[in-house]
Structure 1
Amino acid sequence: MPSSPSRSLALITGASLALLAGCGSSSDSKGDGSSASDSASSAPSKISVIASTNVWGDVVEQIGGDHVDVTSIISDPDQDPHSFEADTQNQLALSKAKIVVENGGGYDDFVDRMLKSSNSSAEVINAVKVSGKTAPKGGELNEHVWYDFPTVATIADSIATALGKADPADAAVFTKNAETFKTKLTPLESKEAQIKKEHGGEGIGITEPVPLYMTEASGLVNKTPAEFSEAIEEGSDVSAKVLQETLALYTGKQVKALVYNAQTSGPQTEKVENAAKTAGIAVVPVTETLPKGKDYLGWMTANVDALASALAK
């Protein structure tokens, strides 16, 4: 039987009230009348930063704190940055970044390739360019500038400046954090100065130029033939003659320690490591990226301490 007009009106009114009640009980609503989406939109957004490796990514986090969202493209300590190939996810992340921190000097060319093929308007910090370091006459540039503490201090200032441009309201926070970070670098330089005082002029061996800024600041002399370390860094074979010259450093005990890159090894570097161990010469492993569970300062403190301990034996 058809509904009367009054019954239809009552049904419509009841349904409307039920709908309103349902909206009022939604989990998205707030007691003050604002919605969760309103709250999310009012929350300060973080500055998106892409770093080529977790070394520079950690430095950014030290300075940016909770104001930054950092993605480090290479964070695996077993990954060789020289041979890394970026993928579409890396490209997408870079296209959304406000700031990009790369090492430069040919170390992480994959970043430059991505920047060229993207429409990114990010501010780019190139650590080698900021450092002002160039190749010595007749030699090659040592691009591993994160082992040079004065350079890292300069990069910290550049990062603070870039973050301040992206978030002017918190610029003072970034400057203060950079100053705090640089203060924590000072004990590392003091430890290098102490090594230089106690062991300046003593010889060491390397497999690659990775630790040279640290060993040179410590007053140590690299005795490894340049042809050996250059070939290892480039992934080339070392001639039999150069290999024998290198091994003689250890069999003849011409060096106090071997500071070798544990991140890239092969038959020839293993021969050098074995020769050092057989001769009773201290071996100090170093890496190019942060070991798991370490931040930059803790990592470098461990490296300098290990060098000092090896030389004291």
Structure 2
Amino acid sequence: MPVSPSRRLAALISGAGLALLAGCGSSPDSGSGGGASASPASDSVVPVVASTNVYGDIVKQIGGDKVDITSIISDPDQDPHSYEANTQNQLALSKAKVVIENGGGYDDFIDRMLKSGNNPSAELINAVKVSGKTAPKGGELNEHVWYDFPTVAKIADQIAAALGKADPASAATFTKNAETFKAKLTPLETKEADIKKQHGGEAIGITEPVPLYMTEAAGLGNKTPEEFSEAIEEGDDVSPKILQETLALYSGKQVKALVYNAQTSGPQTQKVEDAAKAAGIPVVPVTETLPKGKDYLGWMTANVDALADALGK
């Protein structure tokens, strides 16, 4: 089973350089958002490192051609729960003026590499800290804050401020771009509110907590046993009893849709998907990194629309 980034990031340091095993990605790829190679940074642009292409794309929306972005985790075709960072990542971090990480245990390799790269002056944005979200009493933090649109609006403001500090002459441009970006989040929140109005209180199933901020904003309840989603996220086997309880949600048609993480599939999640399809229950795949050809806003629009379609408008 894959190892989740949320709490399990193993570090291995070799004599040749840095090789870290961390969560959520595949081979390193530089670029703005979708992973296209970034041109070498010049004095006229702000060098930025984002732990994932999700944050890299948001930076691009705000910074435009005034930023040079390296998105460390950017391949949507790979299992995001194992990642090997390398010395190229270390070099990029050592030169970055702005660094954005998810935090919450999701991408701790950024902090370790920043420390090793001896770049204390880099402006670090931690998305979970910006969100203000904490673990519920007796529970665990859902660190997938990029599925929470109010949090993303706060992050946009933090990005604009950090870029403005690095390039004061362009600060007004960054602020204006952030406002434009945030305005485009509003229709997404409206779509969630529409789903809540029509389907509030209805139940869905998940495989991992990835989409929960979105589904909760849409007024939907998650009926998946916590033991199931935690085991899948941790890369552990689900007990036969919990697996049967989960499968019964679909055979008994107790949920209206399955919203599953398509990047961390395995035998047990496949059984859940098969059970949903066999029962005629719609399946909504979500991912942790940007799909090819999508920007953040287009990606999230597709996610919310797919959820609405699955429930029936």
TM-score by length of 1: 0.85
Unpaired stretches in structure 2, ≥5 consecutive residues:
1-41
- Which residue type is aligned with residue 88 of structure 1? T
Q: Displacement of 1:113 after TM fit?
A: 1.4
Task: Answer yes or no: is 1:188 the counterpart of 2:188.
Answer: yes
- Greater RCO (Cα-Cα under 8 Å, separation 6 or more): 2
Structure 1 or 2: larger helix share? 1
Return structure 1 stretches of 4+ with deviation > 2 angstroms. 78-83
The answer to whether residue 134 in structure 2 is matched with residue 134 in structure 1 is: yes
Query: Match of 1:88?
Result: 87
Distance between the aligned counterparts of 1:81 and 1:159, measured in 2?
A: 24
Q: 1:80: Cα distance to partner? A: 4.1
The residue type equivalent to 2:149 in the other structure is F
- Is 1:104–1:128's contact at 8 Å kept on the other side of the alignment? yes
- Report the 3-state secondary structure (helix = DSSP H, G, I; strand = E; otherwise coil) of the residue aligned with 1:78: coil
Matches of 1:290 and 1:49, distance apart in 2: 18
How far is 1:85 from its partner?
Answer: 2.4
Could you tell me how far 1:44 is from its partner in structure 2? 5.7
CA displacement, residues 2-43 of structure 1 (integer Å, 9 cap, x when unaligned): xxxxxxxxxxxxxxxxxxxxxxxxxxxxxxxxxxxxxxxxx8
**Contact 2:80 / 2:263 at 8 angstroms: preserved in 1?**
no
Cα deviation 1:265-301 (Å, max 9, x = unaligned): 0000000000000000000000000000000000000
Q: Answer yes or no: is 1:45 the counterpart of 2:47.
A: no
* 1:177 CA displacement: 0.2
Aligned partners of 2:80 and 2:264 also within 8 Å: no
Q: CA deviation at 1:183?
A: 0.2
**Once structures 1 and 2 are overlaid, which stretch shifts more, 190-199 or 116-125?**
116-125
2:117 aligns to what SS in structure 1? Answer: coil
Gaps of 5+ in 1: 1-42
How do 1:1-313 and structure 2 match up within 5 A? Answer: 45-120=44-119, 121-312=121-312
Give the letter for the 1:133 counterpart.
K
Check whether the contact 2:48–2:99 (CA below 8 A) recurs between aligned residues.
yes
> SS where residue 258 of structure 2 aligns?
strand
Residues 170-198 of structure 1: CA deviation (Å, up to 9, x unaligned): 10000000000000000000000000000
Give the partner amino acid of 2:238.
Answer: V
In 1, are the aligned partners of 2:57 and 2:296 still within 8 Å (CA)? yes
Amino acid across the alignment from 1:71: T
Amino acid at match of 1:128: V
TM-superposed deviation, 1:84: 1.6
79-88 or 128-137, which deviates more: 79-88
Deviations 1:82-135 (A, max 9, x none): 422211110011101100000000111111110121211211000001111000
Tell me if the contact between 1:82 and 1:108 (Cα under 8 Å) persists in the aligned partners.
Answer: no
Between the aligned partners of 1:44 and 1:52, the Cα distance in structure 2 is 23
Taking only the aligned residue pairs, the percentage that are identical comes to 85
AA paired with 1:227? E
CA distance in 2, matches of 1:132, 1:82: 24
2: CA distance, partners of 1:148 / 1:267: 29
Distance (Å, rounded) in 1 between the aligned partners of 2:220 and 2:269: 21
Given that residues 46 and 163 in structure 2 are in contact (C-alpha distance below 8 angstroms), is that contact kept between their aligned partners in structure 1? yes
Q: Contact 2:81–2:264 at 8 Å: present in 1 too?
A: no
Name the CA distance, whole Å, in 2 between partners of 1:128 and 1:250: 33
Structure-1 residue corresponding to 2:16: none
Question: Residue deviations 1:145-173, cap 9 Å, x none?
Answer: 00000000000000000000001111000
Q: Is the 8 A contact 2:135 2:142 kept in 1?
A: yes
Maintained 8 Å contact 2:130/2:154: yes
> Partner letter of residue 300 of structure 2?
M
Q: Deviations over 1:195-222 (max 9, x none)?
A: 0000000000000000000000000000
Cα offset for 1:79?
Answer: 3.5
SS at match of 2:84: coil
Helix, strand or coil at the partner of 1:50: strand
CA distance in 1, matches of 2:259, 2:169: 44
Paired amino acid for 2:68: D
Q: For this pair of structures, how many residues does the alignment match?
A: 271
